[in-house]
């Protein structure tokens, strides 16, 4: 599994080289500012009232080296009437992913809808890979510094290979990489596959979608 771990995490190693910051690369950036508006509606189509027992969780666009995201507004409606005083908070995990937890524990009456609107302001810094970065100029797996290998391929626990989904990911990674040793070609193959085959729900992780989109745009070498 050591080889597989290297292949999977190689993706992040190369990103560290290519997308660190404008100061490190000395490459001009384009800045784009957008607003992300989303509305989640929970409908009670039954004949009895329904009470939420857990916080409602919505993943947010994240803050990282190439985008800044700010939560501008959170609004809760019951049957299109604004509900004041609903408590919410933002949680961040160790990977810098952000989630909005909304604490609405009042009952949703029969034939009623609870709606949550969130508005985020996102400033995106578009990095451009230097012209001399190409498949021909890329190093090989053996050229990756030991310090980076040690940092990004350290043991993180047991890979649950008996799980159908995890086994598929492991086998697919091996299939995509094959005997290729060119670092940039490996990363390009993985990015193309993820972009073409992996579907994310809009409410699962906007951060993932934006990261893949920006990386795919910059990987045309």
- What pLDDT, in 10s, does the model give residues 118-152? 999 999 887 766 777 788 888 888 888 888 888 87
Predicted model pTM = 0.55
User: Strand runs (DSSP E) across the chain, as ranges?
Assistant: 30-44, 50-51, 56-60, 67-78, 81-83, 87-92, 98-103, 107-108, 112-126
Could you tell me which of 71, 55, 58, 59 has the C-alpha nearest to residue 104? Answer: 55
Could you tell me which of 138, 141, 121 has the C-alpha nearest to residue 130? Answer: 138
Q: HSE-up of 77 (CA within 13 Å, CB side)?
A: 12
- 31-125: which CATH topology? Immunoglobulin-like (2.60.40)
The per-residue pLDDT for range 16-74, each reduced to its tens digit, is: 444 444 444 445 567 889 999 999 999 999 999 999 889 999 989 888 777 889 999 99
What residues contact 159, with CB distance under 8 A and at least 6 apart?
1, 4, 5, 166, 170
Domain with CATH 2.60.40.700 in the chain: 31-125
* Helix spans in 153-182 (H): 164-177
């Amino acid at each position: 599994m050591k080889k597989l771990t290297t292949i999977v995490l190689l993706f992040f190693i190369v990103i560290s080289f290519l997308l660190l910051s404008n100061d490190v690369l000395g490459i001009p950036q384009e800045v784009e500012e957008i607003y992300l508006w989303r509305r989640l509606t929970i409908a009670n189509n039954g004949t009895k009232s329904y009470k939420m027992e857990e916080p409602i969780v919505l993943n947010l666009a994240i803050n990282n080296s190439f985008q800044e995201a700010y939560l501008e507004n959170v609004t809760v409606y019951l049957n299109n009437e604004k509900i004041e005083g609903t408590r919410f908070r933002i949680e961040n995990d160790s990977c810098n992913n952000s989630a909005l937890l909304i604490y609405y524990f009042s009952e949703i009456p029969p034939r009623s809808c609870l709606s949550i609107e969130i508005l985020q302001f996102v400033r995106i810094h578009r990095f451009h890979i230097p012209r001399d970065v190409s498949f021909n100029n890329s190093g090989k797996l053996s050229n990756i510094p030991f310090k980076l290998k040690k940092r990004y391929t350290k043991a993180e626990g047991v890979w649950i290979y008996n799980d159908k989904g995890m086994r598929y990911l492991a086998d697919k990674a091996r299939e995509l990489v094959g005997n290729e040793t060119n670092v940039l070609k490996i990363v390009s193959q993985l990015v193309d596959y993820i972009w073409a085959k992996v579907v994310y729900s809009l409410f699962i992780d906007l951060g993932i979608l934006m990261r893949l989109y920006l990386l795919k745009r910059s990987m045309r070498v």
